[in-house]
Structure 1
Amino acid sequence: MFSMAALFFLFFLPKVVIVLFHGLEDMFQLFRWSWWKLTPAGEASGEVISRTRFLSQIGLYAAAVPFIGVLYGITKGRRSFRVEQVPVRAANLPAAFDGLRIVHISDMHLGSFPKDSDIVARGVDMIQAQQPDLILFTGDLVNDYADEAEPWIPLLSGLDAPLGKYSILGNHDYSDYAYWSDPAAKVANLDLLKQHHATMGFRLLLDEHVPIERNGERIGLLGCQNWGRGFQQYGDLGRTLQGTETFPFRILMTHDPTHWEAQVWGTGVDITLSGHTHGAQFGVKINGHTYSPAQWVYKHWAGLYEHEGQRLYVNRGFGFIGFPGRVGMPPEITVLELQRG
């Protein structure tokens, strides 16, 4: 039922908490010994003993918190998809696209799912239930290898939208984290992954754009290869933007949200769609606000952002990697409804 990674998180984290509290207990024991040497025997020792016993008990209770959290994240959290309804209003949106429903998904990481898992099917059913006009996927289909996607090709091929399905590549899709003794094998792996996108019915955009037409009017859909600080930068935004100036409204797909501030600001692109952060797969809600370790790393880590009329939406991800679960940061299916006005 559980992978080795799941068992590691399930049992290792609680032990870390116990060790920390036992370290505090040892400090109190040292204090007790020093106090006993400096004072008459028996003075205050009962109080110190009760403190150490108290710390041991608190340590056990505290260790139960990460155990329960990790267990929930692995068994329930990673399958509890949340649909985020996001209205996007724009005065320059052509009338034909008023009310357009875009389902935005990201970071499937299909290699993380057991082959007999029903989680992917559950997510696919929820995507289709949103009755999307357009489906957009913003990268990281796999963890490293193209064959991770193969068990899921028939399922993902069943996704359907009247205006089509489009995708881009994420940092993991290039397989830069795997060891390749033969560079040609790495190239072949990426070529196979591109073919899988096509087999599933997704038009993969590689620093290019396509027109989306509806009732005689058009908007521009742009797809840039991965660009992010700390990663090899494959994307060429200038090439992606070429020939798009005449579109009255433009949507850009780029995997890493840091690309938005670094290069997309000032281009006039109306809305950028990204993923990558996963919301760290962990979050805590306090007074209506969700806090996540992701915000220590990324300025724009989840949800909708705006800068001088340009907008960014960061999807929290469909799958998981590393920790095989999600705690307080459920997998996300985003429904963006374009509204004119």
Structure 2
Amino acid sequence: MIFIRTFIIPLIVLLTLTDMVFFRFLMHLSHGMNMKIYFWILILAIEFYSYQAFRTLHQSSRGLAIYIAFHLLLYGTLIYFQISTSSGFSSSNFKKTIILLSLVIVPKIFLAIALVLEDLFRIGLYLTQQLQSNSVEKNISGRRKAVSWLAIGIASIPFLGVLHGIFIGKYNYHIIRKKIKIKNLPSEFEGFKITQISDFHAGSFDNLKKVEYGIDLITETNPDVLVFTGDMVNNYYKEVEPILPILKKLNAKEGMFSVLGNHDYGDYGKLTEAEKKESIQGLQNFQREMGFLPLNNEMKSIEKNGKKLNIIGVENWGNADYFPKKGDLKKATQAVQEDDINILLSHDPSHFDHDLPGHDNVIQFEKMLHLTLSGHTHGMQFGIEIPGLIRWSPVKYRYHNWAGWYEKNGRQLYVNRGFGYLAFPGRVGIWPEITVLELTKA
């Protein structure tokens, strides 16, 4: 038992929390196992370390009893919220569950990492002592109070970060501007400005004044074209109704275009097939009221002096089995001509790689897609971004193209971090984004 507690558990927790290779392996296995089981195993491992830290600092039986009672009440509440949660990501109990988990578990992850590192140091010290002495009476040193206090101090930082993300970060809109260099770009489209927005998740909004502020920022970019790259709702089209008057303020000189994301199909609630169909139609009718032209595997050309810039929109195409694969690029590009400039709107950035030659799932397309615009990942709404220094989020282990600009084989991709939020009602380090892309000749 001592061996398991001091050797095996620290190793498993460290691998689970910090090693990307093992993390990817777990993600691969998760397609064939119950994710809830994995989730609760991870929670138990984290709580194991949290309890160790508390026990080191407060050894009285009364203090330990209070600690245990609090956590029994906490997890009892979480289980109650899970059982009583109605359909969809917008329910009150679902939001409460995510808030509680974020405030309690996220800080403990950092606490666990600190204590795992201490355990590895203790194990190393123990093994060194064994090699240097013939005595078998050596024991692993006890956990030090100073390290537990340090771990709690480290854990307080993400706790405050989560609070900031819930109350401030989710509406901390950032405008990101980038020049997109395109070889042989006609002079007619030099300086052509595309504003991209994505992932509203309208059912999650709880402050319409903040939303209106974000919409005003979008209109102030004064784009030639405004594009929306999917997930306007969480599950049902009527989520848009409260913000419809605000969204009608959107405009662009040469038109506004939209595509559907995985959440726009109504697959995440208890909708019948008829209700799903009604929701898709209702959503796209709302988008037309806003001034958007929905592109369902379709293309719209913008022509200047005989030169064309094509806005190509496909329905959702995700590389996971649980995401819709309705995108039909071949159908959408039937009218593309050889010298056209082609901008693809496709919600899921995994579509970008699967269009490239050499993939089994390649959607054949002989002509150049100069720029693909996607969303979907939200940057997981959690991470660290310091321009020019670091850009990290756990979502990178699921999507290697997860935020910002990418280039491959002469094709470019931009992944918008999303305007809204889903599940966790906040953003920590990955802020809501309005993207302004300016085309220029390479």
Corresponding position of 1:273: 373
Q: What amino acid maps onto 1:10 in structure 2?
A: L
TM (normalized to structure 1)? Answer: 0.86
CA distance in 1, matches of 2:201, 2:288: 17
Question: Do structure 1's residue 300 and structure 2's residue 413 form an aligned pair?
Answer: no
Identity, % of aligned positions: 41
Aligned equivalent of 1:235, options 327, 336, 340: 327
Distance 1:7 1:91, change over 3 A: same
What is the root-mean-square deviation of aligned Cα atoms in Å? 2.9
CA distance in 1, matches of 2:254, 2:373: 17
CA distance in 1, matches of 2:382, 2:396: 11
Question: Mean alpha-carbon deviation: is it higher for 265-274 or for 310-319?
Answer: 265-274
CA distance in 2, matches of 1:154, 1:247: 40
Report if the CA contact (8 A) 2:307-2:340 is conserved. no
Question: Do structure 1's residue 334 and structure 2's residue 432 form an aligned pair?
Answer: no
How far did 1:53 drift? Answer: 2.8
Report if the CA contact (8 A) 1:99-1:338 is conserved. yes
Deviations along 1:255-309, one digit per CA (max 9) or x if unpaired, are 0111111025664111111111111111224771211112111121111111222
Report if the CA contact (8 A) 1:109-1:140 is conserved. yes
Deviations along 1:184-237, one digit per CA (max 9) or x if unpaired, are 122111111111111111100000001113466431110000001111201111
Q: Greater RCO between the two (CA within 8 Å, min separation 6)?
A: 1
Deviations along 1:295-326, one digit per CA (max 9) or x if unpaired, are 11112111111122211111111111111111
Aligned equivalent of 2:291, options 201, 214, 224: 201
Question: Mean alpha-carbon deviation: is it higher for 215-224 or for 84-93?
Answer: 215-224
Aligned equivalent of 2:316, options 226, 229, 234: 226
- Pairs within 5 Å for 1:79-158: 79-114=171-206, 116-158=207-249
Corresponding position of 1:6: 99
- In the alignment of these two chains, the number of paired residues is 324
- Pairs within 5 Å for 1:31-46: none
Q: What amino acid maps onto 2:202 in structure 1?
A: L
Tell me, what secondary structure is at the counterpart of 2:355?
helix
CA distance in 2, matches of 1:329, 1:318: 11
Deviations along 1:1-52, one digit per CA (max 9) or x if unpaired, are 99523344224434666688899999x9xxxxxxxxx98xxxx9xx84xx44
Structure 1 residues without counterparts, runs of 5 or longer = 29-37
CA distance in 2, matches of 1:302, 1:276: 10
Tell me, what secondary structure is at the counterpart of 1:195?
helix
CA distance in 1, matches of 2:406, 2:432: 19
Structure 2 residues without counterparts, runs of 5 or longer = 1-91, 123-135, 358-365
TM (normalized to structure 2)? Answer: 0.67
Deviations along 1:56-100, one digit per CA (max 9) or x if unpaired, are 423432331221110111122111111111101223222221111
Larger % of helix: which? 2
Aligned equivalent of 1:244, options 336, 353, 358: 336
CA distance in 2, matches of 1:25, 1:251: 51
Deviations along 1:136-180, one digit per CA (max 9) or x if unpaired, are 110000111111111111111111111111100000100111122
